[in-house]
Structure formats: C-alpha cells, structure tokens
Structure 1
Amino acid sequence: MYRSCGIWNVKRGLGEKGGDQLNVTSVEHIQKKSPVKKECEDAFVLNSQAGIYGVLDGATPLVCFEDEAGHNGAYLAAQIFKAKLDQLSGGEGLAQAVEKANIHLREEMEKYAVQTDLGEERWSTCVAAVEIMNDHIQYVQLGDSMILIEDEEGRFTVLTSDSVKGISERAKQKRAEGRKAGEEIPPESYYDIRMNKLRYNRRLANVEGGYTVANGMPEVMDCLDQGTISRRGVRSLLLISDGLFHPKLSLEEIYHRIREVGLEAYVQELTEHLNKHALHIDDRTAVWIKLKEVPPL
C-alpha cells in the first residue's frame, strides 16, 4: 500500500503572506517506501497557508547510527528540513529557511557526536521546494530531487539540475588527477568495492566537481540552486525524489506520462518495471501542484 497518497483541493487563497488570491487549484502527493528499507527516508511538504511545497530525500547512511527512536541520519535530515518548511508562514524566503534548517542539522549531528569531518558520517538530504506567490514562484534545490514545470501549452521543462548524476565518473576522474599530482590514492580496484566507492563519493558533497546536498556544511549555501520564475504561463509543477526516475524515460517524458495516466498509476508502472528487471526500488515521493491561470495584464 502507498504510505501516503491523496488529492488535496485548496479551498482558501494562497500567495504572498497568506494573500487571498487563489494560486493553487489542487495538489496531489504520493509517497511509497522502498521495500528494502525499514522506514521511508523521504519527506514531503504541503504548507498550503504559505504556498510552500517540497520533497526531501534523505541520503541512505553508510554508517549504523540510530537515535533513541530508531531513526537513521537520512530520516532525521529529511525531517529537520520538513519541519522548517512546514512552519514557515510565507515571505521569509526559502533560501533563508534552507540555511536555518542546515544549521539545525549541524547542531543535531554535534549533539549526537557525529564525526562531521567525514563525509560518509554526515546526515544529509536532497531538497526541492517551491513557494508559490501571486505573480511568481521561488524555488530552491539541492541534489537530485527535482522540480519540473508544465506550461499552458502542455510543454514540460526541467527547472533544476541533477548534481548527483555522473558523480561516480567525476569521482574517478578526480582520483586520476590526484594520482597524477602525486597524491597517495588507492588503485581503482579498491573503489570497485561498492562501499569504498560510496564513501569516497560522499566526501565530494558541496565541493567543486562533486554534488550538492544539505548536510550541515556551511558550503551548502554556496551550492544552493535557487531562483525565481514568473507564474505567468505555468500550468503545473512537479516535485519528485529520484525514486521516481525511470531508467527508460527522460524527466520530461516522466512528467508527460504522469499527465497521461496520473501520479499513482505512473508510480505503479515504474515499480512493476523495476521489479521485472530486478532493479533497485527506492523511496518514491512526489508533489504535483496544479495552478490557476494568471489573468492577462
């Protein structure tokens, strides 16, 4: 069964600081836990009063830490960011919210004596969030949780960049360059062992040539993908964790398929495809926001 799935019709105005203009007509969300995980490490945000929506994807830990309630660092990181976005009233700025949540994340890791100098020890989460206002949309993004747009002509566009894509190839190139520069780096056969490769990759978080992720590092704010776009011409927004990525489809094709069959049916199709081909099934989380047309000037 889906852990959370539903269509939520917005009945009061959204916008700047709770303005009364209706910006959103409906929001559909879905979340399904990976069959190989104890708990879902994704989270989603449906803060209707502030017009803020988001998807968070905690990075599965490489260490065995759990807090008193049995939660790992991925779950905790995603929930810290969810809590911050849930409590916003609108107008504070998403970037500022990310910064505050990132500081809180670092403080929580310090409380539990996490070795934050080691990338593989840090709790981390990908972030994709939007704030929908009367005439524009603000967004922030880290990692491979993605934001897509459908315009009023039915065209689909990817708004953000997947900084995790190709990280293993970039990591290999970085090691090769390091060896040429005289650094003592193990041979590539060492990194053929999956855990060794993953540990190295985690140490490339928020550094040049690496990938972006919220993990308590001050550098997160330098790496944050953020911006503002006009609401005019935007029919809908789709926020997804990488668990919705399809091995045979581009992100634009995924959005098109969701528009054709619906969010729940797409996730079911994807899950069946992954099962059939013995591919990894991750947590799958999405928020699909349909907007009211902006009146002409």
Structure 2
Amino acid sequence: MKLECISIKGTGNTNEDAYVISQADQVYAVIDGVSSLVPYENRFGQTGGAIAAELVKRKLEIMPPDAVLSDYLTFVNEKLREVMRESEIDWKQKEALWGAACAVVRVKEQHIEYAQTGDCMIFAVYEDDTVRPLTFPQVSLLEQNAIARWEDGIREGLSTRAELHERCKDILIHNRYQANESGGYGVLNGDAACADFIEYGRINRIGLKALVLATDGLFMPRPTGGKGPGWEETVLPIVHKGLQRYTDELIALENNDPECIRYARFKKSDDKTGIVVNLR
C-alpha cells in the first residue's frame, strides 16, 4: 500500500488543517479546523480552529481498534466541548465556537469504513477511474447563497476580496448558526446535536484502487458565473499527477486570481490537506 499526503497553509497566519496517518491500525483522516468568527488565540498563538483540529487529530491517533467511527467522532466532539468550557467560550454565540470538519477512513482486508462531518470529502476511485464520492460537502448548499451575492458584487463592479467579503459577511454569520441544525450542516463544535449529523458507512473493496481524502481547500474552484467542475476534475488529477503536482497547479491558479474575481471564493488560498491511499 502506497500513501501520499500533503498539508499546506493557505493565506491565514497558521495552518488550521490537520491529518492522521495511523498505518498500524490503517486509519487515515483529514481535518479542517473552523475558527470562530469572534477572534480568538491562545497563549501559543493558536486559533480556535487550529486547537479543534489538533484535538481531533490527537484523539483519532489513539482511537481503539474496535471503536465505531461515528460513535468515536461523537466522543471527540464531547472532548472538544470540555476544552472550550475550560477556555470560557460563550455557548450562546455559535460564531464564537471552535469547530472542525473531519473525514476518516479505516481500511480493512475486504472493506472500507468511513465517517465524515462538514465539507471534508472521501472519494473511492476504481480501476476504471470511476470516482465515487462517499460523502457530501454539507456546507456547500448554504455557501451557494454567499457565492451568489459575491458574484453579484463582481457584476456591480466590486474588485477587491475585502469588499466582496464584507458584502457577504451577514450570510456567513447566518450560516454559522446553521451548524448541527436541521437544514444546516454537521460539524464537530462541541454541540451534542452533532451526533445526528455525522455521516458514516462501509463499502467493499471490489475493484477499488485508491481512496482520496481532502479538505475543501483542495477542491478545484468553479469559474465565476460558470458551471462548477465535477469531482473528477479534482480527484483524477490527484490520482494521476500526484498530490504535489496537483496542489502546485491549484496554487498557481489561485495566485493568478488574488482578489477572487475569476473564481468566486472566500479566501485567495485556503489551507490544503489531502491523503491518497493507493490500495493496489
């Protein structure tokens, strides 16, 4: 079994992503920290998102071999709540909560177990290059409203990312309040309701050649006003070119569009973390 892994900081001060490679237990995960909209840093300069991602990473690295993945993520969520309580985070302000999206797999001899929350993604890739998404980017439906307003701003003549972000700020705050709510999205943020929004399952390994795990910073962006690329445009280049080359090309695309005009998105460059598990 051959592995590839990459984790690169975006335009923020720190990389709020994390990953897990536990070859002894065949457990692999990517984690995307979600910082509070209320600014927070601990005495080491870590944001809430970075703290949450690191906590999820540490807990997954010591997960018992017989743990049920979805149940264990619920346990991790409870631990995150305890850490925030110790830091006196205001539970009435969802925009103040730290959080983490997570995608985790456990590879068995005949099958793959997986669990996911947020917009981290898991893809199964078959011998004929069929790409099978095992998960759904739960935040994407809510973000469509913000992206639509962003694109309206571009059409109205706004030309900087700062102006466009301010135009969408109220939607982004509203979306944060949809965390672990009906019609919203699941995320590890200490809220007990998270347990109802964790997606999980199991597939067999027949014809399977690779698993690709990715945080949303690795997704190929959609051209402004255009149709979004399918998952094949992200996953197959990763499998065929390798994570490093794909990531280099994606960063070059982002650097050529620093104000997020040609490709509507909220950051010039988001943190990027991915794992490819080659099963053949």
Q: TM-score, normalised on structure 2?
A: 0.84
Q: Which residue of 1 aligns with 2:13?
A: 38
3-state DSSP of counterpart to 1:267: helix
Q: Which residue of 1 aligns with 2:199?
A: 225
Q: Which residue of 1 aligns with 2:272?
A: 284
Give, in whole Å, the separation in 2 of the partners of 1:69 and 1:45.
22
Task: State the AA in 2 paired with 1:224.
Answer: I
Contact 1:52 1:90 in 2 (8 A): no
Give the one of 54, 69, 73 matched to 1:79. Answer: 54
Q: Which residue of 2 aligns with 1:110?
A: 85
Q: Which residue of 2 aligns with 1:244?
A: 218
Give, in whole Å, the separation in 2 of the partners of 1:227 and 1:220.
17
Give, in whole Å, the separation in 1 of the partners of 2:143 and 2:210.
33
Q: CA deviation at 1:170?
A: 6.4
Counting only pairs closer than 5 Å after superposition, residues 62-211 of structure 1 correspond to structure 2 as 62-169=37-144, 193-211=167-185
Give, in whole Å, the separation in 1 of the partners of 2:172 and 2:145.
13
Give, in whole Å, the separation in 2 of the partners of 1:281 and 1:263.
16
Instruction: Spell out, residue by residue over 1:163-191, the C-alpha distance to the aligned partner (whole angstroms, 9 max, x if none).
Output: 111204569xxxxxxxxxxxxxxxxxxx9
Contact 1:157 1:252 in 2 (8 A): no
3-state DSSP of counterpart to 1:70: coil
Q: Which residue of 2 aligns with 1:27?
A: 3
Q: CA deviation at 1:250?
A: 2.1
Give structure 1 stretches of 5+ with no counterpart: 1-24, 172-190, 293-297
Equivalent residue pairs, number: 249
Q: Which residue of 1 aligns with 2:237?
A: 257
Task: State the AA in 2 paired with 1:124.
Answer: G
**Highest Rg: 1 or 2?**
1
Q: Which residue of 2 aligns with 1:8?
A: none
| Cα RMSD (Å) | 1.8
Give, in whole Å, the separation in 2 of the partners of 1:39 and 1:192.
22
Task: State the AA in 1 paired with 2:247.
Answer: V
Q: Taking CA–CA contacts closer than 8 Å with sequence separation of 6 or more, which of the two structures ends up with the larger relative contact order?
A: 2
Give, in whole Å, the separation in 2 of the partners of 1:264 and 1:45.
18
Percent pairwise identity: 32
Instruction: Spell out, residue by residue over 1:120-162, the C-alpha distance to the aligned partner (whole angstroms, 9 max, x if none).
Output: 0110011100011121111001111100111122211111011
Higher mean alpha-carbon deviation, 161-170 vs 254-263, is at 161-170
Q: CA deviation at 1:196?
A: 2.6
3-state DSSP of counterpart to 1:53: strand
Contact 1:145 1:240 in 2 (8 A): yes
Task: State the AA in 1 paired with 2:243.
Answer: L
Give, in whole Å, the separation in 2 of the partners of 1:205 and 1:231.
33
Higher mean alpha-carbon deviation, 75-84 vs 59-68, is at 59-68
